[in-house]
Structure 1
Amino acid sequence: MTDALHLSPPVLDWAAHQAGSSLRELAERVSTRAAANIERGELTAAQAMKFAKEAGVPFGYLFLPEPPPQRQPLPIADFRTLPDKHPLSKDFYDVFDDIEFKQAWYREYLLREGAAPLPFVGRFAGQRVKAGTVADDIRGTLKLELNSVAARNADDLYSYLVTKAEAAGVLIFKNGIVGNNTHRPLSVSEFRGFVINDDLAPVVFVNGADAPAAWTFTLVHELAHVWLGESGISDSAPGSQNKHEILCNAIAAEVLVPQIEFAKAWSAVQGTVPEKISLLRQQFRVSGLVIARRALDLQLVPHDVYDAFYQDARRRSASKGKESGGDFYLTLAVRNSKSFSRKVAALATSGGISFREAGQLLNTNPNNVAVFHAKQRALSA
């Protein structure tokens, strides 16, 4: 490679991690045939430009002699413990910064309005509690009636829980990409959700790149952190060794599928494991994935059974995503919390804030804010 640029492999490795990839993975995306050369820091100018674009870092950064200083640690805990967890990438940090900015704005708004602190935030902070105790309080506070929910699918159940949580004062954001950039998908291997706790404006973020059947469990898991007074990043996956995650997993499972009822129902139902899961899914009005997870937690099925349900849910989610793009304005509200989006749009329309500021808060063109508000008014009319 006579025209090769000689770049620092540690810098290239750092850049790859900003995209949630290993250096080898990103090198192969740039050029399969030249991957080994790229790993050694030998790239053509064209390869270097493509590498920077794939990594999502400024082109000039690749010419640094060593990686730039690490950014300051997050002001929230990292509860992820799975051995295959990926380092937090630039995509995660950009999402976190965006959500933290929105929460700070909303908190200031609530303070000006004289809002009272939410009594359930940190209700069990620092206490030794049983999962069932916290689960009962979550169900009671949110007025959950899961047995009567007319949920046709995982999306319906998730929407029901979001509505209940936001009515209580928790802002729920769900997105599978960074902002509105479809070229920057989030990685489930990095995280499944996070919570930024606050007594006025607690915020939950759910990684929408995960299977819809998994959103519900992640949401309730993060709500458990709210009740425990914790802020942190979660993987919420089975097998976590973090004591906070273990407790929140148990709380989420108890909220969705109470253990005593589930154990009785599992024993009473006859048939193969898939048949049992299908029947109990209908009985408890949750997804088959949630039932499979509950059975795994109680050691009624091996991990490969749960994993098969999870992988199937991911495949169906990917297939569905390719078939339709969805309604832009509905997606706008889900990505930015329905409560938050409506309040921002209403303030912009009434002159409380500018449409430019509203657009910045919702990561969209200011013109879309007025259309969104009009659609919301039409739905509530």
Structure 2
Amino acid sequence: MIISLIIPTRERADYLKESLQTGLQIEDDQFELIVSDNASNDHTREVANEINDNRFKYINTGERISMRQNFEFALQHCSGDYVIYIGDDDCILPGQFRFLRQILEQHRPDSLSWDRPTYGWPVNGYGKRTGSLKFQRNSLYGEVETVDSDHSRQQLLDCNLGALGPKPAIYHGCISRQFLRSIETEDGICFASSNPDVYVTYQAVLRNAHALHVAHPFTLNGYSPVSTGGAHHAYKAGDPRCKPAQMFQQENKQDFLCDAIGYAVTVPHAFFSTLETIREISPQQIERPDYRAWYHYVLNSARPGDHETAKKLSDQMAEYAEKTGTQTELAEADDASVAVAGKIKKYSQRIEKLRTMMHRKRITAAIDGKNDALTAALTYDRVLGEDYAGILDGSRSRNICWKSAMQRTRQSQFVARAA
């Protein structure tokens, strides 16, 4: 079984360099690491040329294309039976990879997802708690669980995303080649939305894929000043820090494929548009979603005071409501009961967060004066150790593994303040 780790990239060579090293640390002959370079103008090619490993492949799109097209381009050049995508400022945990393989070979699921801790790059004081790693008891050493696909499907259609629970993923998750082939369009396109990772997740949920989840990390989700996701929702329109998001949107507009509700201007808009794109192109009829809830979710996604974005959302939703005959649902989207439900959901999430604060610890990711994706991955692996083997074979309890991990943090010279 070949497992492919794909890193789409665009002009982030200094981040990519360390992210790549985490993949190259994996000791596995049936593993391939692919960098799909979206015609970068920096030294990305030079970073790739420094690597001498027959498991590594560098490919270049030759011209600037959308993220969706880059995902598709990379998929066409990989040979994995299972495929994982991560960002160029993310990392994989090399010491945990053998457990990932063990689960895939034993269960052969359509999808395997996992809990993913975050790592903030300590660049010029960017963000909060950058350069450190959080270990949380309920996100480590979990047993293999089957995702309740019927529940997930209904929550998605109802726009109850906070209750969706663990869900299939190709971005910081693993999807089988067989499932990816099953969602190809007649034109042979696998990623038929400008939000390729969300598209695959929603396809898997709506098709009742055989999905597994473990509350145990195999990757770390990095965030940095160049992260596209952060630029999408962290700043007001016109802020120069929005540049990564603006580039993403411009490239999407050059793509020959367009989502059902146009080019997304907020993350909730992207989610709704992806869902409607799938319903529009699916050969099988998919149930009607709760349009009132979805319209409410999208219309309230602009940042306070960002009137330009709010106006765009209002205009696009009105146009789509007219197209789909859902003007009544749009008119009811500001109903107080919808707003109250959202507040209750957020309150319950805060309560759960307070519960978990008692069982977590934070330490620095620095090793020998360096603090980057590679040191973060090695530090996380050192704390996790080999204990997950005992969970998978039933010889150890989660509580024992957690205590061992905490002991390793106390023994380490890298221990920082607890969260």
* TM-score between the two structures when normalised by the length of structure 1: 0.29
More helix by share: 1
Whose Rg is larger?
1
* TM-score between the two structures when normalised by the length of structure 2: 0.27
